[in-house]
Amino acid sequence: MVHFKSNSSHSIRAIQPTLAFLPQRVLPSAFHPPLNNVAADERNSPPPARRHQELLQFLTRRGQLTVDELAEHFGVSDDTIRRDLQILEQRKMILRTHGGAVSTGYLVHRETSFSIRGQAQAAAKSRIGKVAAELISDGETLIVNGGSTTFAFATSLGLRRNLTIVTNNLAIPSILSAEAIQEIYVLGGQYKVNLVSTIGAVGFRSGDISVDTAILGISGVTARKGIATTVLEETSMLADMISAAGRVIVLADASKFGRSAFGYFAPLSAIDILVTDSPPPDDLAEALSKSGVEVIVAPA
């Protein structure tokens, strides 16, 4: 707590006007104070349930919108829109970002930018990254794919030592702790600006590679089809990362459960450990169990 001390020796007190000496004005019974424009508009806005449905439709068409754009479109206040977005996110119908929201379909079918993905479910990804980092031993060789969840994992490796990391995630090398890293190898190929990643062969001119653990972020996971990505060209690269690894750890927040994505690259049986922020739904949990996948839920 901050305390302020007056330089004056006199005490400070608020001076209240004496209402008894102020001129009084009697308003006519028909008088109503004017409403501000936002309040007036909100009276004409659709009821919440209908507005939620229209908001989802609008967001689906546009893919990504800001709070200001939504407030103007529906004629309501920013606070009303923020409450709407909070409700819809809790129902897993949208993903909130800083200052707005994106539709879940937008993330599934498009190469959404790294910064947008980083804002979506940011707290959950941070928890997942910290738990996944605890599964890594000193001296391991890791292969890590592109994505915001694997970026959160990389930022949590500060306590590890003598790690060798192979990655196509160009956001990772600059944030890795020098004390934790022995060597970093960056995979070449096509550079995807939006994803801050390369897409190409898993290997180098000197030959194929073998690693202890693959750390993979994904776009979706379903009980029937397995794990998927939104980027079709990435599917073969991710499959090769799995083949190169002795152990596969998948990082996925709960918004990925049951979500179909463009390119499926491996069945559930390819996963050794799934680290998430919430228990999977019953059908997915059963399929994971039958496939021998260990599920670790990061504490809140």
pLDDT of residue 44: 62
For residues 286 and 231, the model is more confident at 286
State the average pLDDT for the chain: 81
Report the alpha-carbon angle 256-264-243, nearest 5.
105
Q: Are 248 and 144 in contact (CB under 8 A)?
A: no
Q: Are 149 and 217 in contact (CB under 8 A)?
A: yes
Contacts of 211 (CB under 8 A, 6+ apart): 141, 142, 143, 166, 244, 245, 246
What is the arithmetic mean of pLDDT over 282-292? 97
Q: Are 86 and 101 in contact (CB under 8 A)?
A: no
pLDDT of residue 112: 52
Q: Which domains does the chain have, with CATH numbers?
A: 37-110 (1.10.10.10), 118-297 (3.40.50.1360)
For 33, the 3-state DSSP assignment is coil
Long-range contact pairs involving 155-164 (C-beta distance under 8 Å, separation at least 24): 155/129, 156/129, 156/130, 156/132, 157/133, 159/133, 160/133, 160/136, 162/138, 163/136, 163/138, 163/139, 164/140
pLDDT band of residue 89 (cuts 50, 70, 90) is confident
Contacts of 101 (CB under 8 A, 6+ apart): 59, 64, 65, 70, 85, 88, 89, 94, 95
31-67: pLDDT as tens digits: 444 444 444 455 566 788 899 989 988 887 776 788 9
Report helix angle 48-62 to 78-90, nearest 10: 80
Place of tokens 């709960």: 254
Q: Is pLDDT above 60 for 2?
A: no
Contacts of 166 (CB under 8 A, 6+ apart): 141, 142, 143, 144, 184, 185, 186, 187, 209, 211
195-234: pLDDT as tens digits: 678 887 777 666 789 999 999 999 889 999 999 988 888 8
Judged by average pLDDT, the poorest of 178-192, 194-208, 250-264, 277-291 is 194-208
Q: How far apart are CA 273 and CA 294, in angstroms?
A: 5
pLDDT of residue 13: 39
